[in-house]
A = this chain, B = another copy of it.
Amino acid sequence: MSRASAVPSERTRVKRLPERGCYDRAAIDAVLDAMPLAHVAYVLDGAPIVTPTLQWREGDHVYWHGSAASRMLEAAEDAPVCMAVTLMDGLVLARSAFHHSVNYRSVMLMGRAAKVADPAEKELRLRNFVDGLFAGRWDMLRPANRQELKATTVLTMPITEASAKLRAGPPKDDDEDYALPIWAGVLPIRLTVGQPIDDPRNKPGLKPPAHVTGFSIG
């Protein structure tokens, strides 16, 4: 699949600590593909509003979904939105408060949201969402029905105005502070997947499929 390059706009150009900024599509896609949790911001009655949701990427677009009755998703159609996807990889402890930091991988996308209007495309996108997390699951499920599809809004935005911002590695202290006898370093943080918990109402003998036992995130 060919990748368009993401072009930083004046708005997405990383201005604070620009050495951490990155506009490479491979770097942007890697963050989007590692972390389904996103925070999407809208403007509602002139005020910002941000909510957590799951995103998924297909080629040069991101998608997210929600209730067709959501006031935010309604307001988002053809309106400016901003999506942030963040992985916190560690806390960085330095020799001065000022140089404490966070190791992270993050992406910011800006654009206008569009609804996926065509029912067949909507169903395909939702299938790709489910199968992107849990390969092959869609075909194992009770099929989606018309009411469920109608009750679900899928929004999309092209990955054009985008940036990734990354920090890794040890603290960067002021030169003279390295002489101080203060412990500095990194506390790594990661997302861990636990053992699957069977629904107590599962039919007897059902075992979690490979897309559950082999699941990873982050």
Is there contact, CB below 8 Å, between B181 and A203?
A: yes
Report whether B201 and A170 are in contact in the complex, using a CB–CB cutoff of 8 Å.
yes
A177 within 8 A of B: yes
- Interface of A, secondary structure class, is mixed
Residues of B within 8 A of A83 (CB): 50
> Which residues of B have CB within 8 Å of A93?
134, 137, 212
How many chain copies?
A: 2
Distance in Å: Cβ of A182 to nearest Cβ of chain B: 6
- The interface bits of chain A over 173-193 (1 if a CB of B lies within 8 angstroms of the residue's CB, else 0) are 110011111111111111111
Within 8 A of B (CB), among A85-99: 86, 88, 90-91, 93-98
A161 to B67, CA, bound (A): 23
Cβ contacts A34-57/B at 8 Å (1 or 0 each): 000101111111111111101000
CB neighbours (8 Å) of A51 from chain B are 84, 108
Note all chain B residues with C-beta closer than 8 A to A192.
189-192
